[in-house]
Copies of this chain bind each other. A is one copy, B any other.
Amino acid sequence: MNSAGIAQAAATLTGALARFGASFSLGDVPEDDRHYAKLLALDLFGCALAGLDTEEARLARRAAHSLSPGGGGASIWGTGEAAAPGVAAMVNGTAAHALELDDFHGVDHSGAVTLPALMAVADTGGEADGKRVLEGMIFGYEVGRRLLDGAGGYRRHNAAGWHTTGTLGSYAAAAAVAKLLGLDGQRMAWALGIAGSFTGGTWAFNEDGAMSKRYHAGAAAQTGLQAAFLAREGFTGPAAVLEAERGGYFPLYGEGMTPAARSVAEGLGRDFRIGWAGVKVYACCRGIHSALDVALDFRQEHGLRAEEIASVHVLCTPVQKGQLGLALPKTRIEAQFSLPYSTAVAFLHGEAGYEFFTEKWIGDPEIEALAARVVLEADEGRSLEEEPVITVRTRDGRVFTGQQPVPIGDPANPVPEADIRAKYRALATRHLAPGTVRRLEEAVLALDNPGSFAEVRAILAARAERSGRE
């Protein structure tokens, strides 16, 4: 980089983000956000431990033996195995996202891209403590969500074909690790530049449910970690990685240098974006959650039972119909993206937790019979931001119509802390003994305490005490 480039860096968007990133500390973050960061970490570790059971995690872990033949110091959570930090981040990120149960409203899925990278660095370097991991997490969520909004927001940017867990997850992970490593503003901007200069993630998996969707979270964690390690040494990335006319993220992947793109670094330090992230109570694609809220509401308010239902009509956008319309899923990922299946589960069982998206329930005749009566109708004129409208007709001629504009898990409709903890326990119990489940919970909620952080690392690094229930 020439001297003009260095002077210019501070004037670019990543330069401004990095200047803030290098200067804030945990004390500048409101207590609510700091506490919520710990709850998000708890939620993520629960998802990752339960995710160990998936084919995706199992195969990624097996590949890690070849990708990191000599071990490498960073733990593959819950396995007792270790790998080079980038490889461990890839496997843990893949596992954390494998159940589609991890947090949203970040890049999406900011937990699965930041925490695997941060913990892998903590396992292999002397720099990390729990306070720095929280700072890294908070800055990673900050950058990821701001860039998502700069690129047009989740729905528009993903509708275009970009899987932002990957494309923007790399930036979020780079920001997180750069903060953990204590890089100065210039090197932090380089880290963002290197990560964004080579980042990916597309929705091509949606056609056949390929496992690569989960890999995107892991690959983003790995990409960001590697970028931050390179930048620490002085390896330079493009200062204008976001705004360059030829090849900048917003012109090339996004919608150009719109007002939203130009303002991604405005108001830093106010309203931390980690508070905007949501916790999932249903184990399926976030786009389905509002329909499940409506279904559970009908079930509870009107005592509506599955056998009474003649049809469920879902008015939605063409993207929703294409992404969520499959009625009779055969695989986990197909089930997680099936609105008819998930809605049938909610009407029949009064919940839509993890178990219903496993082989235990997929193909269940009762669910399939109801799912076959759910019809999606796409309206070209609907805004991408609108939640679907659900209309249920009963066999005896009653009609119920509902729409949930703010589904459970949104910051405006938050999941109570007790429910987040309960979800974690249900997931973690699949692999950890009850005492360990409790110890990990207590330690994560005191992550900024040095002893607690060491305990979190030790529990995650150990071999799981149970092999999962499947």
The digit string for A94-124, where 1 denotes a CB below 8 A from any CB of B, is 0000000000000000000000000000001
Contact partner, A72, options B70, B162, B170, Cβ 8 Å: B70
Contacts of A197 in B (CB 8 A): 166, 200-202, 204-205, 210, 212, 215-216
Is A369 among interface residues, defined by CB-CB distance under 8 A? no
Closest to A225 in B: B67
Is A3 among interface residues, defined by CB-CB distance under 8 A? yes
Contacts of A201 in B (CB 8 A): 197-198
Q: In the bound complex, do residue A204 and residue B208 qualify as a contact, i.e. CB atoms below 8 Å apart?
A: no
Is A331 among interface residues, defined by CB-CB distance under 8 A? yes
Q: Which of A239-247, A267-275, A444-452 contacts B (4 or more CB under 8 A)?
A: A239-247
In the bound complex, CA of A62 to CA of B235 (Å): 10
Q: A4-B208, A193-B204, A197-B215 are in contact. Are A63 and B244 (CB under 8 A)?
A: no
Q: Which of A402-423 contact B (CB under 8 A)?
A: none
Q: A62-B233, A63-B232, A241-B204 are in contact. Are A198 and B212 (CB under 8 A)?
A: yes
Contact partner, A237, options B163, B212, B334, Cβ 8 Å: B212
Is A311 among interface residues, defined by CB-CB distance under 8 A? no
Tally of this chain's copies: 2
Q: Which of A26-34, A84-92, A293-301, A344-352 contacts B (4 or more CB under 8 A)?
A: A84-92
Q: Count chain A residues whose beta carbon lies closer than 8 angstroms to a beta carbon of B.
A: 85
Contacts of A248 in B (CB 8 A): 161, 202, 204
Q: In the bound complex, do residue A238 and residue B208 qualify as a contact, i.e. CB atoms below 8 Å apart?
A: yes
Is A20 among interface residues, defined by CB-CB distance under 8 A? no
Q: A212-B197, A215-B230, A229-B67 are in contact. Are A205 and B238 (CB under 8 A)?
A: yes
Contacts of A246 in B (CB 8 A): 159, 161, 203-204, 206, 322
Closest to A218 in B: B198
Is A380 among interface residues, defined by CB-CB distance under 8 A? no
Q: In the bound complex, do residue B322 and residue A203 qualify as a contact, i.e. CB atoms below 8 Å apart?
A: no
From A5, A202, A220, A234, residue with most partner B Cβ within 10 Å: A202
Q: In the bound complex, do residue B212 and residue A66 qualify as a contact, i.e. CB atoms below 8 Å apart?
A: no
Q: A67-B85, A197-B215 are in contact. Are A209 and B59 (CB under 8 A)?
A: no
In the bound complex, CA of A24 to CA of B331 (Å): 34
In the bound complex, CA of A216 to CA of B83 (Å): 23
In the bound complex, CA of A399 to CA of B8 (Å): 41
Contacts of A160 in B (CB 8 A): 252
Closest to A125 in B: B66
Within the complex, what minimum Cβ distance (angstroms) separates A209 from chain B? 6
Which 10 pairs across A and B sit closest by C-beta, in order of nearness? A5-B208, A203-B247, A202-B247, A198-B200, A161-B247, A204-B238, A204-B244, A197-B212, A204-B247, A210-B238
**A residues within 8 Å of B by Cβ?**
1-5, 8-9, 55-56, 59-60, 62-63, 66-73, 83-87, 90, 124-125, 159-163, 166, 170, 190, 193-194, 196-212, 215-216, 219-220, 223, 226, 229-230, 232-241, 244, 246-249, 251-252, 322, 330-331, 334
